[in-house]
Amino acid sequence: QSVLTQPPSASGAPGQRVTISCSGSSSNIGTNTLHWYQQPPRTAPKVLIYRNTQRPSGVPDRFSGSKSGTSASLAISGLQSEDEADYYCATWDDSLDGWVFGGGTKLTVL
Amino acid sequence: EVQLVESGGGVEQPGGSLRLSCAASGFTLDDYTIHWVRQTPGKGLEWVSLINGDGGVTLYADSVRGRFTISRDNSKNSLYLQMKTLGIEDTALYYCATENSSGYFQHWGQGTLVTVSS
């Protein structure tokens, strides 16, 4: 069982907006910045959102992140078929003295 | 081109040992804190260990502490993970990844597969 809780799956039709939640505690999300990673099938993860809300260069503005208290969300608008992937949230945990990941959310574009 | 290439994975019996390597090219590894992250087949990501730029700071996940040792050789631009007393639960694809100044895992290798089975 992961320290950070994500829904195991999410789905939406092309063009729709989907949100993926990530829930933690005061020792991780409540205190530290959170990052989101995208992992298409059979490839290594790549960062999608860093420091809660920032997009690296090259990531479309269809992707956005937010954080409030001990929870965070990733929103994807204008859903496209290439967005089908697994999505993970990650942050540092002060109690565990290590990085923690969410269990991952598999996004299906209908 | 920035590249990380892991090697050393394979099939090992429970209780055995393996040493993973991560070779960097296209950049100087000693500028970065480096991590090992593993992924159980068909499942999620699990952070394993980190080592800072000069090797003076190492941290481990509870699941591997006391069994795994992370090290680096900056002269060879390489990172290592010595794994001992392997258990079935250590079966996973092991990635090395660099942490950049914004605190996220920026560059990842393609992973090396470790299978622990009798």
Tens of pLDDT, residues B46-80: 999 999 988 889 999 999 999 999 999 989 999 99
B106 touches chain A (CB under 8 A): yes
- The pair of three-digit structure tokens given for residue B81, joined into one six-digit string: 């993970």
Q: Which residue of A has its CA nearest to B46?
A: A101
Across the range B22-33, mean pLDDT stands at 91
In chain B, positions 45-104, which contact chain A (CB-CB < 8 Å)? 45-47, 50, 59-62, 95, 102-104
* pLDDT band at residue A80 using 50, 70 and 90 as cut-offs: very high
What are the φ and ψ backbone dihedral angles of B71, each rounded to 5 degrees? -155, 170
When pLDDT is cut at 50, 70 and 90, the band that residue A51 belongs to is: very high
Angle at the Cα of A69 from the Cα atoms of A64 and A72, rounded to 5 degrees? 30
Q: What pLDDT is attached to residue A1?
A: 80
Cα(B56)–Cα(B80) distance, rounded to whole angstroms?
Answer: 15
Confidence of residue B99 (pLDDT cuts 50, 70, 90): very high
Taking residues B100-111, what's their average pLDDT? 95
What pLDDT is stored for residue B86 in this prediction? 98
**What is the average pLDDT across A35-63?**
96
pLDDT, chain A, mean: 96
What's the pLDDT at B31? 85
Nearest to A30 by CA among A74, A73, A70, A72: A70
Span A53-64, pLDDT tens digits: 999 999 999 999
Q: Check A50 against B103: CB less than 8 A apart.
A: yes
Look at residue B1 in the predicted model and tell me its pLDDT: 86
- The pLDDT of A6-30, averaged and rounded, is 97
Q: Would the pLDDT of B42 be above 80? A: no
Contact B105 A47 (CB under 8 A): yes
Return the closest-CA partner of residue A20 out of A73, A59, A64, A66.
A73
Other C-beta atoms closer than 10 Å to the C-beta of A15 total 10
**Is the predicted pLDDT of residue A93 greater than 90, yes or no?**
yes
